[in-house]
Structure 1
């Protein structure tokens, strides 16, 4: 439940991607069972505590992105309501729908090795949110707010990929590819490669 390299939820998500890609159902079951064991009873994730000064992964969204891969649609929708009750369900009240519950991060110094992580956080938040949306029913009112947040984080994350600094330039592209190809989503949108 951290925002860097050894985040368990992120690792489990990648392992499930691999297991499904190669058809290793025994491994997929092991990983799915582990995700349930680790995260199914979690409630009220403190999304407001994010990010730390050097996160490139969201601990809260990472858990949700992992569990959406292993729960049924109904089970996931119910779990998400208790895990991230901060996601709005009401009609739009302002012109900046994501700023209140999930603001985009801004790196104050992209040439700093740790602060450059914040640019990657926008990219990973976008793909995690897109994954979460893919697991919710079509009429779930949270989809609007999640879509707005994903779009805003996607724009900010992709804009940060400039190649100007090694600190972000050597890895942000891989996050952008994962986001734009929707590789973590089994049923991708029609325009994804």
Structure 2
């Protein structure tokens, strides 16, 4: 399964329809006084759409990624024009200033932080525009916050939702490679301490509102941190030898896509596909590459028809479909 031109246009049309849609919007905001009562656009003139801040960030990642892969599709010009209008120094300065509030310390931590770094990474690939330069101060601010956070985060957060540590570190580490060697080293050391001794996974998965696999996100992080000779036996001990992968890792059922939390499960199918594809690519001739790739395709097949249709999933699912379809990238 791969990203085709028709699918790219479909995803682009969906994302263009929500990154500037102001409502409904779920604001991650701590009100300090009556003066804080304001529309979301006042605090977030760039990332005010897509139901919430982090979804708007990775909606933009979706759009820029599609523009790079299909620069001649009709939607590419609309993406560039909207990005020129949105990623201005003045608007991004307001986004950056929001972080100065005393109560913004935990704003979008760590999921939104990681996606902003990933968006900046993608923007750097568009050398015909100044988007990356304009996003850079915000990216540096979140990278600094991530460094500080890892120094006080004693234990990994292994839920299947936005607070998941491993998922954020995968995206952040990819941004840091070639840009911030100190952050790469910190992530690698933290990941080894948190997950290096883990084996024989027996967690309760899936949870009813998960869009990330707690165990597969941790495994993907370790696949990027460790070389294959040490990763392969670690992975086998984690989910292969105990039968978890064969017994439990199958596409999940979504009962009501109009319910935002239940709709998360489409994302679980997509993010599992991403993890499985990426891990398969690191295992070489270990005998697991083909089974993992087939399992990834089963998860993709279950979720791709439902990327669009109801806004509760439509405002974010295309990003996770792209992650899976564009492995390795």
- If the length of structure 1 is used for normalisation, what is the TM-score? 0.82
- 2:212 equivalent to 1:67: no
Query: What's the counterpart of residue 316 of structure 2?
Result: 171
CA deviations 1:37-75 (Å, max 9, x no partner) are: 11001111126x211100000001011000000101010
Greater alpha carbon shift after TM alignment, 23-32 vs 9-18:
23-32
Alignment of 1:137-176 (within 5 A): 137=284, 139-162=285-308, 164-176=309-321
Consecutive unaligned residues in structure 1, runs of 5 or more:
89-97, 189-193
Report the CA distance between 1:158 and its aligned residue. 1.2
The residue correspondences of 1:95-174 to structure 2 (distance < 5 A) are 100-137=247-284, 139-162=285-308, 164-174=309-319
Q: CA deviation at 1:177?
A: 2.0
Question: Separation in 2 of the partners of 1:176 and 1:29?
Answer: 29
1:191 aligns with none
Higher relative contact order (CA 8 A, sep 6+): 1
**1:14: Cα distance to partner?**
1.0
Q: Find the aligned partners of 1:87 and 1:124 in 2 and give their Cα distance.
A: 22
Contact conserved, 2:280 with 2:290, CA < 8 A, in 1? no
Q: How far apart are residue 87 of structure 1 and its match?
A: 7.6
Give the TM-score of the pair, scaled to structure 2: 0.49
Q: Deviations over 1:120-168 (max 9, x none)?
A: 001100001111112112x211222211111111111212212x21110
Is the contact between residue 281 and residue 289 of structure 2 (CA under 8 Å) also seen in structure 1?
no
| 1:32 equivalent in structure 2 | 188
Aligned residues: 171
Query: Partner of 1:69: helix, strand, or coil?
Result: helix
Matched, 1:45 2:201: yes
Partners of 2:253 and 2:290 in 1: CA distance = 23
- 1:62–1:156 Cα change, 3 Å: same
Aligned 8 A contact 1:87 1:101 in 2? no
Residue 93 of structure 1 corresponds to none
Q: Distance in 1 between matches of 2:297 and 2:226?
A: 25
Task: Tell me the SS of whatever aligns to 2:225.
Answer: coil
Deviation at 1:86, TM superposition (A): 5.1
